[in-house]
Chains A and B, each alone.
Chain A
Amino acid sequence: MTEPAVQISALEVSRGSKAVIDRLDLRLEPGSVTGLLGPSGCGKTTLIRAIAGVQKIAGGSVTVLGSPAGSPQNRHRVAYVTQASSVYPDLTVTQNLEYFASLYRRDSTAVNEALETVDLHDDGHQLTGSLSGGQRARVSLAAALLAKPALYLLDEPTVGLDPVLRRDLWALFGRLAASGAALLISSHVMDEADRCDRVLLMRAGQLIADASPAGLREQTHTDTIEQAFLALAEQETR
């Protein structure tokens, strides 16, 4: 059996006296795309931050690629793309990527490849702040691609993108998984779940479902992931 990309047991995160994540267990395998879906405020970002190693946790353990989350060796192998496009608006696209490349010890070939992949090769000299929100999100994604990590943590990477680009990016995520990487992708758009190998539905700090998209629909006797979510949420409150 291969080593899991992520192994979480009994994770607890609290803010004040309120539990944001309540005894959560999760295992992610390499070579797969996992969608993390749920309404905003359900704890998706907190869970991703815990795996990235930048979240204070109250209990439990998070092991990433065999080492504790956030350990120095993992910072070469894990790329985290935050929800807000975390690149420098006052640098050009290429300057941004060159900076991140230097941190991951990658050369300019990696920069060009990443620009090519997110379809920004003609915009390298543009000031990042002058780009549209969708373009900035792609610069932010490119900064993760050039690291060539074993685990991608992508927080709402497709928000505000046009349908063509969204389709292309999901195709890219599939290729990255095929090459052996693990991807955890959060979204609050339920129909994006169909593009994942596995779907996690999250609600109020807990995972309420964990299955393939088809399995989830079957399990809840529904036609769409959105309906499945509603069915599960109603079961919970009942």
Chain B
Amino acid sequence: MTATFSTAKRVLQQLLHDRRSLAMALFLPSVLLALFGYVFHAQPEVFSRIGPQMLGLFPFILMFLLTSVTMVRERISGTLERLLTTPLRRGELIGGYALAFGILAIGQSLISTAVATWGFDLGIDRPGEALVFALLGSVVGTSLGLLASAFSETEFQSAQFMPLVIIPQILVCGLLVPVDQMPEPLQWLAVAMPLTYSTEAFSSLAAGEPASERVGELLVLIGFAIGSVALAAMTLRRRTS
């Protein structure tokens, strides 16, 4: 367990030395949210329909990218190979990464939820709950990024996982067309994708439904986060050719 914490500390120390990445990770979702709101300036009814979901979507994309690239960099630089010869366990390594980026995600979500609540009228009257789902968006992004990094040998490959993993989710998550109005195969696909649940949760939040309506989404998203971290740890190979 100590090794998990010291790995998380090390990852955060690295981020602190890279102020530009840190600033982008913290503020980019808010900036994108502001841009998104401005685009729909003349159509407030559209913004109120698809704006709140961005609170989960933007951190999901950013953390996915950040995590997968960081992890692949560790693989390329040789530090991963070295770590795998130390007493550090694979679960502790992945757990340390998840913890460090989870802490970053809290900061990011606090800022973007504050911007959404007080900066724009997003129609969310429960900022606390919005924060929970924004945080889950970034945590699931982080854990999927860890998982994707297990399948990429180069930074070039991991950058290409972004469109592969993210864009289909944006298309079928119910943001463009409600899930139940899509062809059946796409509906099955939507069920298997975490962004669908994040989108549903924010839609329900914006519609002012009671919290009990969102327990299912909450549990599924937590399940996705835990499942992909566990898979990432299992797919990390100690021996390579």
Contacts and interface: CB of A to CB of B under 8 A. Distances in A.
Interface stretch (B44-52, B80-88, B137-145, B187-195): B80-88
Interface of B: 2-3, 6-7, 9-10, 13-14, 17-18, 77-79, 81-88, 238-241
A83 B6 CA distance: 25
A111 interface: no
Contacts, number: 80
A86 B240 contact: no
Contact of B83 (A56, A103, A127): A103
Contact of A86 (B18, B77, B241): B77
A81 B86 CA distance: 11
Contact of B239 (A56, A75, A91): A56
A52 B13 contact: no
Given A56-B239, A86-B81, A103-B3, A95 B87 contact: no
* Residues of B contacting A: mostly: helix
Nearest to A95: B13
Nearest to B76: A84
A100 B79 contact: no
B87 A82 contact: no
A96 to B, nearest CB: 9
24 contacts: A52-B85, A54-B85, A55-B239, A56-B240, A70-B85, A70-B238, A75-B85, A80-B82, A80-B85, A81-B82, A82-B82, A83-B78, A84-B77, A86-B82, A88-B10, A88-B77, A88-B79, A100-B86, A102-B2, A103-B3, A103-B6, A103-B86, A103-B87, A143-B82
Query: Interface extent on A, as a size class?
Result: 35 or more
Contact of A53 (B3, B7, B78, B238): B238
A163 interface: no
A86 B17 CA distance: 18
- Among A72, A76, A100, max chain B CB count under 10 A is at A100
A86 B79 contact: yes
Contacts of A56: 239-241
B10 A99 contact: yes
